[in-house]
Amino acid sequence: MRKFRYHALKNNTQIIQGEVEAASLTEARAKIRDLGFVPTKVYMESSHEASIEESSAQQGTLDSQIKFLSLKDKISFTRELQIMLSSGITILDALNMLAINSPSEKIRKISNVLQTEIMSGKTFAEALNARYAKLFGPVYTGLTLSGETSGELDTILERVLELLKKQDEIKGKVIQASIYPAILILIMFVVLVLFAKVIFPAFASVFTFNGADVPFLARTLFELCNFISNFWYLIIASVVGGSYLFKEMIKDRTFKCKVDSFLMKIPVVSEFINYINLSNFISVLQVSYDSGVPILEGLKLATKTIDSSIVKTRANKSLEFIKNGRSLSESFSFSSLLPNELIMMIATGEKSGTLGKMLLNVSNVIDKKVNIVLETLTKMFEPILIVSIGAFVLFVAVAFYQMYFGMLGTLF
């Protein structure tokens, strides 16, 4: 029999140390579990130092490999964790199951690292904030901390899951609305390339052979198609480079404010930007309020979800009014953050003591507004696109007309 030292978790909160006698490491772990503890580290004295070095190296590797976590992965991680916690499984066992069984490699690595952090004495929220604050964002980490403090982590994770699903639904609607225009633009580009490679060279050879001048529109079309055919890589490089440059420039606060101010002056587009930001804002505020987070802290969390600098400025003004003792409805009214009809709903909730319910109703109303504005944007964009394609087809038709009659003129 050999002596094994161990670190174990007692009541899922307290780290204890001790030693047991056993014939093997497996038997030692079994004896520790028989004592009612969850073993986090079991070792013989001689192998302790090597074990620590191996664990640290592995943890560093796991942590450095994850740079981005998709919304789908966040939903999957939160859903699985919430289901297991609500079933009475401890956070350590839940993370262990995810580390072994999750189909996503990133989720397995995250679960492994979080499990190690909790075994070292941190809570789940502390481990998440220490290791993956950027991956999950301030709202996720803030709400999990609230849930852990109140002892209702499974309930909070369920609400966080609803928030993530809502974000995914809005993202899906935006992508769906963009598919039709993208396909039409792609078809137009393919047609241009086809004309440049096959059709126009045949006509151009006839004109060249007979020594005639190519008509103006036809010549313009020739040159455009030749440019696309010969320098298509420059077009793609310009689009990619321009997108990257814009992405870097938008990080500058002054430039972003100018862009946001310009977008907020465009009809319908300004409504979409306003409601899409308010949708996330009100949803987080409602979830944090129902989770027992103080209204001021809930507002701070909700403000972090806002992307538009214009809407964020209004939200920050609301924060200042709240700090000065104003009610939530008054703060939203003074800062012009919400439409008057939604402010009246919040004021009614404050007076009747049903603020959480009213915030949920406001969230539902804003979601409907997002759907309506998105549908309007799609309907508004379709005729613009059709007119643009029609103009392109007319240009090609007239150019072909000139080429056809010009070619007949060279034959007689």
**Would you state the pLDDT for residue 250?**
87
Which residue type sits at 169? Answer: E
Question: What pLDDT does 1 receive?
Answer: 73
- Structural domain containing residue 17: 2-43
Nearest by Cα to 275 from 139, 160, 375 = 375
Together in a domain, 105 and 207: no
Please report whether residue 216 resides in a domain. yes
Last residue of a domain, one of 151, 182, 211: 151
Statement to judge: residues 195 and 136 lie in one domain:
no
pLDDT at residue 211 in the model: 55
Per DSSP, 380 falls in state H
In a domain, 55, yes or no: no
pLDDT per residue as tens digits for the range 43-77: 775 544 444 334 444 444 444 467 788 889 999 99
- Co-location of 113 and 213 in the same domain: no
User: Which of the listed residues 151, 185, 216 is the one where a domain comes to its end?
Assistant: 151
pLDDT in tens, 285-344: 888 888 778 888 888 888 888 889 999 999 999 999 999 989 999 999 999 999 999 999
* pLDDT tens digit sequence for 220-256: 877 777 787 778 788 889 989 998 999 889 888 899 9
Q: Is residue 109 part of a domain?
A: yes
Please report whether residue 64 resides in a domain. no
| Statement to judge: residues 296 and 399 lie in one domain | yes
* pTM score over 0.85: no
pLDDT of residue 207: 60
Same-domain status, 116 and 200? no
156 in a structural domain: no
Decide if pLDDT at 205 tops 70. Answer: no
Residue 119 pLDDT: 81
335 and 244 share one domain: yes
- Domain contains 48: no
The CATH number for 381's domain is 1.20.81.30
Domain count, the chain: 3
- The answer to the question of residue 353 being in a domain is yes
349 in the same domain as 250:
yes
- Give pairs for 205-211: CB < 8 Å, separation 24+: 206/407, 206/410, 207/403, 207/406, 207/407, 207/410, 210/410, 210/411, 211/410
Judgement on whether residues 116 and 239 belong to the same structural domain of the protein: no
Tell whether 138 and 182 lie within a shared domain. no
Task: Say how far apart CA 235 and CA 222 lie, in whole Å.
Answer: 17
56 is a domain residue: no
Sign (positive/negative) of CA torsion 171, 174, 176, 181? negative
Q: Please give the Cα distance from 184 to 278 (Å, whole number).
A: 32
Q: Determine the pLDDT at residue 155.
A: 83
**Residue 202, number of CB atoms within 10 A of its CB:** 8
Clarify whether residues 219 and 340 are in a common domain.
yes
Alpha carbon distance, N-terminus to C-terminus of the chain: 110
Q: What is the pLDDT of residues 97-152, one digit of tens each?
A: 888 888 888 998 999 889 888 887 788 888 888 888 888 888 888 888 877 777 77
Give whichever of 13-22, 95-104, 151-160, 380-389 has the largest mean pLDDT.
95-104
Question: Which pLDDT score, from 0 to 100, does residue 61 have?
Answer: 42
- CB neighbours of residue 73 within 10 Å: 18
- 194 and 236 in a common domain: yes
Judge if 107 and 141 occupy the same domain. Answer: yes
Q: Which of 121, 151, 181 is the last residue of a domain?
A: 151
| Residue 46 or 29, more confident | 29
Window from 223-237, 265-279, 363-377 with minimum mean pLDDT: 223-237
